[in-house]
Amino acid sequence: MWVNMSDMTKENLARLRIDPERKARRKTGPVALLVVVAALLMAGLMGYASSRKSSAAPPAAAPVAPVAAPPAGDALLTVTGYVIPRERVEISPKFMGTVRAIHVKKGDVVRKGTIIVELEDEEYRARLREAEGRLALAEANLENAELNLKRALELEQKNVESARVADDARRARAAAAAEVKIARGTVALAETYLNWCTIRAPIDGVILEKLVDPNELVAPQSFGGSRGPSTAFVAMADLNDLQVEIDLNEADVGKVRLQQRCRISPEAYPEKVYGGYVAEIAPEANRSKGTLQVKVQIEKPDRYLTPELTAKVDFLAE
């Protein structure tokens, strides 16, 4: 009986014994769980940090395709301006006087040297005659002084007169020569004023403005015409030498350069097209308007181009 109970005790003890493999698995289970949890926490922290970094960094710029330059001859920029003569000549009197006659009117075509205005010249003709008389008197005095000098020298050689007399004769002759020079200058001055009474066209061109009429008193400063205070009584220009004046927006200045080819078309005659080029770019901008003045020279202008008309200008690519 004792033996049987001991066998039963051994058998029960064997049942209660834990298998080593199961014991190892039970020991390693919690450790593996801790490792997995730690790995998940690390992955979460790394993902959060990378998301913060990506949100803080600026987005990468998308690649921009280069803009192709327009083909040569195409318009880079189109603006409008006003047709103007390259040079506007305003003719003024050189002194105060009265208009005797004016031989031109607005729109007349004149040649260089054509008489356009005459001033009353009676006073200056009289001054010229007076100056010519003074010149004749001075020349006569010079001739007399030369004769006196000749006689004094002859008498000095014969010891009839002293050297002092000869010296006085020399001084008188020099003074007479100086008077002749002064008289000739007076004559030249009178002739100049007389010539200024006849005003001639300085260039070939067209009369743009006529600011005075006959019998009006004119002076080097007048207030006639549509351009405000002016010293001119006639304005003219060569209409074979025309430009387009443009107030270019400052945002478009980079598209324009000197000698750039242009295409010009007047608004009044859109079917007419003229070639041209950038002849002038102002060295200073207009601050109040935000513009820069540009002048485009028109090649081969004709009668369809009139000053102050509006014209369209295409600045061409090369």
Q: Which two tokens stand for residue 272?
A: 């007419």
- What average pLDDT values come out for the chain (318 residues) when binned by 10 residues? 51 56 53 61 62 52 50 80 91 89 91 93 93 93 87 74 76 90 94 93 90 85 51 86 93 92 93 94 91 94 91 91
32-41 core/surface letters (b: 16 or more CB in 10 A; e: else):
eeeeeeeeee
**Residue 237: HSE in the Cβ half-sphere, 13 Å Cα cutoff:** 16
Per-residue pLDDT, 146: 87
User: By three-state DSSP, how is residue 17 classified?
Assistant: coil
Q: At what angle do helices 163-196 and 122-157 cross, to 10 degrees?
A: 160
Per-residue pLDDT, 157: 75
Phi, psi of 169, rounded to the nearest 5 degrees: -65, -40
Per-residue pLDDT, 159: 72
Query: Which candidate, 185, 91, 85, 69, places its Cα nearest to that of 132?
Result: 185
pTM: 0.59
Residues 6+ apart with CB under 8 A from 26: none
Asked if 301 and 265 count as a contact pair (C-beta separation under 8 A), the reply is no
Per-residue pLDDT, 61: 52
